[in-house]
Structure 1
Amino acid sequence: MPVPLYPLLLAPIYKEKVWGGRGLKELGRVLPGGSETMIGESWELADLSVTNPSGGGGEAARSVIRNGPLSKRTFGDVVREFGPVVTGTMKLSPDGSFPLLLKYLDARENLSVQVHPSEAYAAEHPDVHLKSEAWYVVAAEPGAKIYRGLVAGVDPERFQVAAQNGSVEALLRSEPVEPGQCIYLPSGTVHALGGGVLVAEVQTASDTTFRIFDWGRTGRELHIHEALACIDFTVTAPETVDFKEVAAGDGDWAMRPLVSCEHFQMHEWTALGTVPHTFVSGELSVLMVASGSGIITWGEAERRTLMVETGDTVVLPAGLASAEVHAKLDLTLLEIAPPRTN
């Protein structure tokens, strides 16, 4: 089996959700089912041996490579066979799986108000896992918003009463969103993605969610007791990386840092001209094509190419010497990389 020194194009895994829609067609996708099939999530990079029944359906979720010599193999299998040649310094999960889960979310309706396990809760409950995540807004309808954090003065007792009587919304911070914004949600943050928003989501590889309030929908379990043990009641004004910030450029490309946390780094790259951008390897990078199209070229002895379009997700293995991205049409990329070590 050849060493995987080429860009790995991944196939999406679709998940039906009660709050989902058909908006992922805007990414050029041919979605499964008919107009009545509500697709809420497209898992772009997944390496989970098991998923939460209420989140991922309970079964394993492993992304499949769809190009080159490794086509039809799962990305996780390639990670475990070739190790650092693919992952570089990215620290794998204790079970040897890839530590991040990348998605697109299409919210036709509000997602449930929820929180993910805190570090302390996960340490005491081996069956759940820490989950921090970031949303990059790809598209948003006029007036669309998200919910994140709590208004000042909310304590556990007040929140528990509101959760039990269905008045949680009054305790949540809401904020309007526009394309290009990035919102980081560390574990312990109460949040909900609002209807009319399509985001790219980068998160630690866990789908454990404690649902607090479901906007009047019935039939889905709530986890108020667990949520109260995880909520960080001290954070009331989290930061947002706004799309209007000035980006640092290298000529024909603009780079905007979005997230730098203990789990991953996330940058936005926007093509401003025709000069290609070189991603120098030595470390794994995952590229999510948020908009536009381009051509990735690589190889020293023989130059090879891969066409990418809106919605594609590509892994650049750490052992790939370099790869150039040539923009063809209004190209914006999200680059996800291992966390800084210094």
Structure 2
Amino acid sequence: MYAKKLYPLKLNPIYKEKVWGGRTLELLDRTLPGTSNTHIGESWELADLNQTSVSGGGGSPEHSLIANGEFSGQTISELIQSLGPAITGSLPLTDSNSFPLLVKFLDAKTNLSVQVHPSQKYADAHEDAFLKSECWYILHAEPGAVIYKGVKEGTTEGLFRQAIKSNTVEELLIKVPVNIGDCHYVPSGTCHALGQGILAAEVQTPSDTTFRVYDWGRTGRELHIDAAMQCMTLGPAETSKYEPNITTDGQYASRTQLITCKFFNLDRYIAKSNFTDPLTNNEPIVWMFLEGSGHFSCDASPHIAFEKGQTFLIPPNISNLTVEMSEGTTWLETTFPQAEPDTRIA
């Protein structure tokens, strides 16, 4: 019914100022709000949250706005309410009937707080907390950049609490050097932090519940030590089974499988010359363009241009949808485990 009406939906970013943020999002050809002294830490690319945490998203609801075509100015929430499965396919929505994904860019000019996200057990027992598992794809990394992922073997709750008091938490964290193109899965319960000098794409479950446990000596921001300790998985983060890092070279593009988990799949594509692809996705997909340009074409619109730094939600089963792009165009694609296997780049 809606196939001829629907088209790839360009999403307006929602910018968040953060004490640890900077202006590195300009590398994605973004015109950022404010001045050079305005610290933009996050760009929410796809958000459909009826509530956010005060310490994370600011406490108010956040719903991405559509930036193109007939639905321009409507929120993703409004489209889901009016069009239902035409937008979401067979995806199970959240308990509040929202899209089951939150997608961001993060600019860590300085270290993010050391933090823990709620486990499902904790979220089930606390109505204001929501499960949060996520991944980071590294877009830019200064020399020597690291992430912190997990705590060292033998760390106990008592040792960690003492380290907070003595300002020695870093000594207990596992430090992982990163380079452009690396991708890391961070399951709920992992003690972690994005280190300074990193620009990352973040794909996660639809939650911004964050328990800060250490803030590098910064003052004025609330810590949530007891809640974090209830959720924290002590020890190294065993995530290799979620990070296949398998590259397949196809006729028109290469595909690297970055993350495979029960909540979402994340792949990176790099287009070769003469890239043209008919898209026949039966579930929604999300594309974040990192380099290059091109355009979509479908019955609802013959030409929908895209370029570096833009994010699109592509509803399922769009009538006669094709995409063309320049050589070297690079994008991240988020799909869902219940979707049909992708055989386009086989």
Give yes or no for TM over 0.5.
Answer: yes
Give the residue type in structure 2 aligned to 1:135: W
Larger mean CA deviation between 185-194 and 277-286 belongs to: 277-286
The match for 1:306 is 304
Q: Do the aligned partners of 1:89 and 1:338 also contact (CA within 8 Å) in 2? A: no
> How far off is 1:50 after superposition?
1.7
Counterpart secondary structure, 1:229 = helix
Any idea what the Cα deviations from partners look like across 1:129-165, whole Å, max 9, x if unmatched?
A: 0000011111111111111011111122211211232
Match of residue 254 from structure 1 = 254
Unaligned runs of 5+ in 2: 341-346
What is the deviation of 1:234? 4.4
TM-score by length of 2: 0.93
How many angstroms apart in 2 are the aligned matches of 1:210 and 1:266?
25
For residues 249 and 80 of structure 1, what CA distance do their matches in structure 2 show? Answer: 39
- Provide the C-alpha distance between the structure 2 equivalents of 1:305 and 1:195, rounded to a whole number of angstroms: 39
Give, in angstroms, the shift of residue 303 of structure 1. Answer: 6.5
Pair 1:319-2:317 in alignment? yes
Uncovered stretches (5+) of structure 1, i.e. residues with no partner: none
Q: Secondary structure at the match of 2:324?
A: strand
Cα distance between partner residues in 2 of 1:80 and 1:157 = 48
AA at the equivalent of 1:166: N
* 1:46 positional shift: 0.6
Match of residue 343 from structure 2: none
C-alpha RMSD of the superposition: 2.0
- Cα 1:57–1:339 shift into 2, 3 Å: same
2:167, 2:322 → 1: CA distance?
52
Runs of 4+ in 1 over 6 A off after TM superposition: 240-243
Q: 2:19 corresponds to which letter in structure 1?
A: V
The 2-side partners of 1:25 and 1:338 are apart by 30
TM-score (norm 1): 0.94
Are the counterparts in 2 of residues 295 and 328 from structure 1 also a CA contact under 8 Å? no
Determine the C-alpha separation between the residues in 1 that align with 2:104 and 2:146: 19
Residue 129 (structure 1) aligns with: 130
1:101-122, Cα deviation, whole Å (9 max, x unpaired): 1000011000000010011111
The amino acid of 2:252's aligned partner reads: D
* SS class of match (2:122): helix
Deviation of the 1:230 alpha carbon: 0.3
1:320 deviation in Å? 1.1
Matched-pair contact (CA < 8 Å) for 2:275–2:327: no
**Paired residues of 2:258 and 2:267 also in contact (CA < 8 A):** yes
Return the alpha-carbon distance in structure 2 between the equivalents of residues 322 and 135 of structure 1: 33
- The one-letter amino acid paired with 1:251 is Q
Instruction: Pick closer, same or farther for the CA change 1:102–1:246 going to 2, 3 Å.
Output: closer
Separation in 2, partners of 1:242, 1:266? 10
Q: Distance in 2 between matches of 1:278 and 1:165?
A: 58
CA contact (8 A) 1:2 1:69 kept: no
Deviation per CA, 1:222-256: give whole Å up to 9, x if none.
Answer: 1111111001114444339889x551122120111
Summarize the alignment of residues 130-279 of structure 1 with structure 2, pairs less than 5 Å apart: 130-239=131-240, 247-279=247-279
More deviation, 279-288/268-277 = 268-277
Instruction: Tell me the CA shift for residue 331 of structure 1.
Output: 0.8
> Aligned pair count?
339
